Structure 1
Amino acid sequence: MCRWTPSVAHLCPEPALGTTAGRPLSSPSAASLCLACFTLLLVTAGTATGACPPGVGHEPLQVLASGVNCSWTLERHARSYNHLEGDVRLRRLYSANKFFLCVDKTGKVDGTRRKNYADSLMEIRSVSVGVVAIKSVSTGLYLAMSKKGTLFGSVKYNPSCKFKERIEENGYNTYASLRWKHSGRQMFVSLNGRGKPRRGHKARRRHPSTHFLPMLPS
């Protein structure tokens, strides 16, 4: 009725008809029997061959037809994030120390508690995968870091304006200079407990001073 191959014929026996108290037993529908046989066949084939489960790597029918083991438990396909390049977001970077990062017209980087302060509205642009440029919308200056780890506002975009953006386990973002390191260690954008920028080499990824929450402008 719904025999797939001779090797699995025993999985789908012919329905038996009989009587109970003089009434004929109704036979299950062909569709329900075929569905049951197909489900059991998938489970058996996946267990025996280690083939990809449904929806991973191949369609179930393709896996059964080819018998290919795609080793889905051993390999993970690399994802492409190239679509993020050129992405632009308007955000205010709110630090875990409760300050908004800002860059004034003189190029000074500071922190403010004023929620709607004009100099704290930033344009965060993805320049490559995982790398962003941060620019103050009101002043047009780019956030940059010097070789010594000092933050400043740059009129022109240059390699010192590139930061590696990473989402940490607590949901906050960190921004590390792509160009500069100190003794092989990354240097991070950081605001201390008074809202003043810290030198990049004095900040560490785990420090709250380096953690920023990109907030939508209100």
Structure 2
Amino acid sequence: MCKWTPPVLRLRPDLVLDAVPSAGRFLPGATSFCVACFTLLLVAGTVLGECPLGGQGGPGHETLPGLAGGTNCSWTLERHTRSYNHLEGDVRLRRLYSANKFFLCIDKTGKVDGTRRKNYADSLMEIRSVSVGVVAIKSVSTALYLAMSKRGTLFGSVKYSSNCKFKERIEENGYNTYASLRWKHGGRQMFVSLNGRGKPRRGHKARRRHPSTHFLPMLPS
């Protein structure tokens, strides 16, 4: 006996598309629905002269060219900018309290010392950020800048110079360290430091992890 096999209908894609009405060629799936919504938003923004996804670019935004030709629309992408504590031009009034329990001060003769007097006038400092992570420290009462010489000696300077720039770093214990930006000793950084008697130490004798180099910037009371 012969087994009958139904014929297979082979259709050409172009004939199928021509046979199906244009409105029903594509099923309204989730993807096409999202595309349709986006298109409506883009058209609405073009007509109103505004960006459909909101707003003009500003700080912390990246502006991308509009997709629609002949429009001024732009997209803005929120960017999680890294927060810096030391921005150029930032000015803080602080008293630098060392881990050895002394306040850093600069007297009118330019002598750098430590005092236990909390509200001593010469200990109030203006800490100004000159670049990211780099500060200049100036006594408010004497108007002298904290400076470090090539030999690591601290002194008060009438004029601001490269000797007055210090790298400010927040350590793991919450205290700050201040290292000379200009000078190093044997390739190692030299730090602002007050010993256990409140006297300044030579920069090359101080180490980052030593308590004598740790200062807590305190708000004036």
Q: TM-score range by the shorter chain?
A: 0.5 to 0.7
Q: How far apart are 1:79 and its partner, in Å?
A: 3.9
**Residue 84 of structure 1: SS of its match in structure 2?**
coil
Structure having the higher Rg: 2
Hey, what does 2:168 align to over in structure 1? 165
TM norm structure 1 = 0.64
Q: Which amino acid aligns with 2:177?
A: T
5 Å matches for 1:144-183? Answer: 144-183=147-186
Hey, what does 1:4 align to over in structure 2? 30
Structure 2 residues not aligned, in runs of 5+: 1-27, 33-79
Write the distance in 2 (CA, Å) between the matches of 1:200 and 1:130. Answer: 19
Q: Between the two proteins, what is the percent identity of the paired residues?
A: 92
Hey, what does 2:112 align to over in structure 1? 109
TM norm structure 2 = 0.64
- When the two chains are superposed, the root-mean-square deviation of aligned CA atoms in Å is 2.5
Hey, what does 1:72 align to over in structure 2? none
**Residue 166 of structure 2: SS of its match in structure 1?**
strand
**Residue 197 of structure 1: SS of its match in structure 2?**
coil
Contact 1:110–1:197 under 8 Å retained in 2: yes
Q: Which amino acid aligns with 2:99?
A: A
Write the distance in 2 (CA, Å) between the matches of 1:83 and 1:177. Answer: 16
| Number of matched pairs | 150
Contact 1:108–1:152 under 8 Å retained in 2: yes
Hey, what does 1:98 align to over in structure 2? 101
Contact 2:86–2:131 under 8 Å retained in 1: no
Q: Which amino acid aligns with 1:203?
A: A
Contact 1:175–1:210 under 8 Å retained in 2: yes
Structure 1 residues not aligned, in runs of 5+: 7-76
Q: Which amino acid aligns with 1:199?
A: R
Write the distance in 2 (CA, Å) between the matches of 1:199 and 1:189. Answer: 8
Write the distance in 1 (CA, Å) between the matches of 2:141 and 2:196. Answer: 25
